[in-house]
Amino acid sequence: MAGQVMPQRPAQEVIRMSAVYRADARSHIRIRIGTGMVLLLWAGLVAAQTVLPDVDVRAPKWETRHGGYLISGNFEVDPKMSAVIYPAEAFQKDDIVSVRLTQMKDDEYFVLQECISVDCTQANILRVWNAYGALGVTAHKDDRVWIPHEGKFFMWMQRFPMSGFRSGPFTGYEPLSPPLVLNPTGTAEQFRACDVKAAQERGPVKVLSSTHNDSSFVLRFEGGTSILIQRMHAAE
């Protein structure tokens, strides 16, 4: 009713209600602060998990960065010809191929070759290694080959057994040949001790197993020889 004076609450009740209100407010603030802290901690954990020091999460599989180079072991063994190894992605100009040999026999030769005709009926040999290193190379690091241009490159191993001859393996080769053919050069005595044509007809040595070991591709051939291959390129 107009002009009616509302009854006033006792002072003690007002104080009690104010105390309850303040308690509820403090509780609400604590809840909001607690929730905020949880969210901040969760965001911090997510950030800590996605930004890790010295880890390049963009690097593809079998690839690492070291010393200014991208180092990759992304090679494959041809499923139809178990003796031929090739890069999973074509070599590019200025790529570096690193080859390390283990327990290689005196009559074995590991070959890096490229097709030089469209149908790959002719090929060029870039490097040949035997148990004593790269043939015809005097460079300090003869285990590395610079790729001069993009192309179709592949690797394989040839064996040239010699009978009754102790002067060592062949020391040279003809650079141009059909694919998967290595024509060695050497002395007449070496050729008398080795049936080169028969060895070529037997073809390349088969790969028994291949594994990816971090940024390396590790091969094991018939006879026990192991070879570790890496592809390197200057990081941009």
Indicate the domain borders of the chain.
9-51, 63-234
Residue 168: the pLDDT is 85
203: left (phi over 0), alpha (psi -120 to 50) or beta: left
Which of 41-73 are b and which e, b meaning 16 or more Cβ less than 10 Å from the residue's Cβ? eeeeeeeeeeeeeeeeeeeeebbeeeeebbbbb
Q: What is the mean pLDDT of residues 115-122?
A: 94
pLDDT at 77: 97
What is the spatial distance between Cα 222 and Cα 209, in angstroms, rounded to a whole number?
A: 9
Opening angle at CA 27, ends 10 and 13, nearest 5: 5
Q: What is the pLDDT of residue 61?
A: 64
List, as one string, the DSSP characters of 181-208.
Answer: ---EE--HHHHHH--HHHHHHH-SPPEE
- Highest mean pLDDT out of 54-58, 105-109, 136-140: 105-109
Ranges assigned E (strand) in 19-163? 63-66, 69-72, 75-77, 85-87, 96-102, 108-115, 123-130, 133-134, 144-146, 153-159
What mean pLDDT, rounded, does the chain reach? 80
pTM: 0.72
Q: Are 82 and 225 in contact (CB under 8 A)?
A: no
C-beta of residue 78 within 8 angstroms of C-beta of residue 85: yes
- Percent of the chain past pLDDT 70, that is, above it, reads 72
pLDDT at 2: 46
Give per-residue pLDDT as tens, 153-169.
999 999 999 987 677 89
Q: What is the pLDDT of residue 152?
A: 95
Mean pLDDT of 213-236: 92
Q: What is the largest CA-CA distance in the chain?
A: 134
According to the model, what pLDDT value does residue 10 have? 46
Q: For position 69, what pLDDT does the model report?
A: 79
* 155: CB partners within 8 A, 6+ apart: 84, 85, 86, 99, 110, 111, 112, 113, 229
Q: How many of the other CB atoms lie within 10 Å of CB of 210?
A: 17
Q: What is the tens place of the pLDDT at every residue in 13-71?
A: 433 444 443 444 444 434 444 445 444 444 444 444 444 344 344 445 667 777 777 89
Mean pLDDT of 222-227: 96
Q: What is the predicted pLDDT for the residue at 60?
A: 56
